[in-house]
Amino acid sequence: MYPTEAILLEKLTKVFYARQKKVIALEDIHLSVKEGEFLCIVGPSGCGKTTLLRILAGLEKQTRGKVIMRSKNPEKPLTSMVFQGDSIFPWMTVVENVAYSLRIRGFSREKRREVAGQYLRLMGLDGFANAFPHQLSGGMKQRINVARAFVSDPEILLMDEPFGALDEQNRLILQQELLKIWEGSGKTSLFITHSIDEALILGDRIMVMTAHPGKVKAIVPINIPRPRDILSLRSSPNFGALFKEIWQLLQEEVLKAKSTEMNK
Amino acid sequence: MSLLEEHIHETFGRIIIKEEKGESKTILIDKTFILKVLAFLSPSLLLLLWEIFARLGFIDVRLFSSPVMIFKTMLPMFYSGELLYHTFISAQRILLGFLTGAVPGVILGLSMGLFPPVRASLMPMVAATFPIPKLAIMPLILIIFGLGEASKIFTIAIGVFYLVLINTMAGVLNIDDIYLDVAKNFGATPFQFYSTVAFPGALPMIFAGFKLGMGTALLLIVAAELSAAKAGVGWMVWRAYDMFDIEKMFVALITMAFLGYIFSYLLDMIERMVIPWVNNRR
């Protein structure tokens, strides 16, 4: 019997060797993500969040354990990752960047422009199609980053703190736009963030991780109905209670991570 | 605020002075304009001093000539086509030598950057032969390729080759890992990996190598035309030396400076066309 979940992780463990020292990045991660679910991952720095996403993206291999991902349509790519930081190709124009996955899959130039054009409009990048990234602001670049992942139309979307480097205003705007696009697509998504606010706004569930080694501490369901709106969301009574719950879980871990760092 | 400050506003290098009462007079002094004037004035002044000192006998015109004397030698050489002929011969050698060195330099540099086994097997040879002064190899090149054009082209090519190779390899190795991850995540094939990431990513460094290589090519042309040549700007220098014709020597030097300027201008132009994504900092 095959599992029906989109992602199933069993006893996933990743061990690094950094300067002859053994570092356990992830230990016995158990996780199941339903199809169409938006899972946010929070945890102190260095808890292996990024490593987890890189394993799912096929950029790294686990040391032990099972990773099962269900692919409904072999024509589509299994995963697309929105990387942390600046990963937009500086040598390609905006439209070439957004359509990159289509070029890899051998689509014609016209088809590429057509599909990318839709997402450029959705992300408010109209009129910047032929600009080069160095002419754009950080917020614009992250729009391209997100659009590039959506254009590839993957089964699973992996986002590693895509809005981490943005200012508050840009962040709010992009969160709202991501909500809009994502709620329209219904893609299974994993989203790493440092911001509890952001996790509550976007996620169906929030996974809180422990540090050194990275384990699952708790998974909290977010029962806020969709479609969501950032403004009304913050004033809902649930929001405050959930924020408190997540922060209490996270606070312990952040303090623990601090004290182990000091003992080194 | 003093009265003076009230009426002088400095904005972006322009000093604007406004006068009181009725009609205001605006004087614009553009800093960039001043800089341009300075850039023209100082070499002109130097030439003028040179000429004056030569006429007054402060400097020995038999050794240092004078701007007017050089110009008088240059004009007939220009009109007779002699100068153009030598310039053309040298330009041709530089261009052919440059291409013969740069093309294999880029190809080998890319493969050494991309594939660790290629790098591991070729790097020792590159590292061992790179420090040999290219002039020291010239006699060997003359023996192998003879006294014709081939030896001159090859001398230039070998100097260009190393600089382009090393810069191209460094260009590939310096590409940020995140771009490689993106290509990998989207499932790029090895060829797509090369065409969409490695080559465009290394292009700025490749062009830096081209520019260094061009500098070396201009250096080597003089050496290459020293032996067994019958034409070329480098040959003109040596010929003038043999004849103790100082004016002709200066004419050749000026032509060489001009050639160097033209080639680097062309490279800059091609670079701007090929790499439009790099911020132009000049």
Percentage of residues of chain B with pLDDT beyond 90:
70
Q: Does B75 touch chain A (CB under 8 A)?
A: no
Per-residue tokens: A135: 């002419």
On the question of pLDDT at B234 being above 60, the answer is: yes
Ordered by where they begin, the domains of chain A are 1-72+155-163+190-234 (3.40.50.300)
**CB spacing of A89 vs B196 below 8 angstroms:** yes
Average pLDDT, chain B: 87
Average pLDDT, chain A: 90
Percentage of residues of chain A with pLDDT beyond 70:
97
Among B185, B188, B277, the residue with its CB nearest the CB of A90 is B277
Domain B71-274 has CATH 3.40.50.720: no
Question: What integer pLDDT is reported at residue A70 of this predicted model?
Answer: 85
pLDDT band at B25 (very low <50, low <70, confident <90, very high): low
Question: What integer pLDDT is reported at residue B11 of this predicted model?
Answer: 47
Which whole number is the average pLDDT over A197-214? 92
In Å, how far is A57's CA from the nearest CA of chain B?
6
Question: What integer pLDDT is reported at residue B20 of this predicted model?
Answer: 52
**CB spacing of A77 vs B187 below 8 angstroms:** yes
Between B250 and B21, where is the model more confident?
Answer: B250
Q: Does A135 touch chain B (CB under 8 A)?
A: no
- CATH 1.10.3720.10 intervals, chain B: 71-274
**CB spacing of B182 vs A152 below 8 angstroms:** no
Model pLDDT for residues B41-73, shown as the tens digit of each residue? 999 999 999 999 999 999 898 899 999 999 999
On the question of pLDDT at B4 being above 50, the answer is: no
Closest CA to A47 of A80, A30, A25, A28: A25
Percentage of residues of chain B with pLDDT beyond 70:
88
Q: Does B187 touch chain A (CB under 8 A)?
A: yes
Cβ contacts (< 8 Å) between B204 and chain A: which residues?
A: none
Cβ contacts (< 8 Å) between B275 and chain A: which residues?
A: 91
Contact B13, B31 (CB under 8 A): yes
Model pLDDT for residues B181-219, shown as the tens digit of each residue? 999 999 998 889 888 998 999 999 999 999 999 999 999
On the question of pLDDT at B282 being above 50, the answer is: no
* Whole-angstrom distance, CA of residue B160 vs CA of residue B154: 10
Which whole number is the average pLDDT over A34-54? 91
pLDDT band at B18 (very low <50, low <70, confident <90, very high): low
Question: What integer pLDDT is reported at residue A264 of this predicted model?
Answer: 58
Mutate to test the interface with B, among A50, A51, A89 (most CBs of B within 10 A): A89
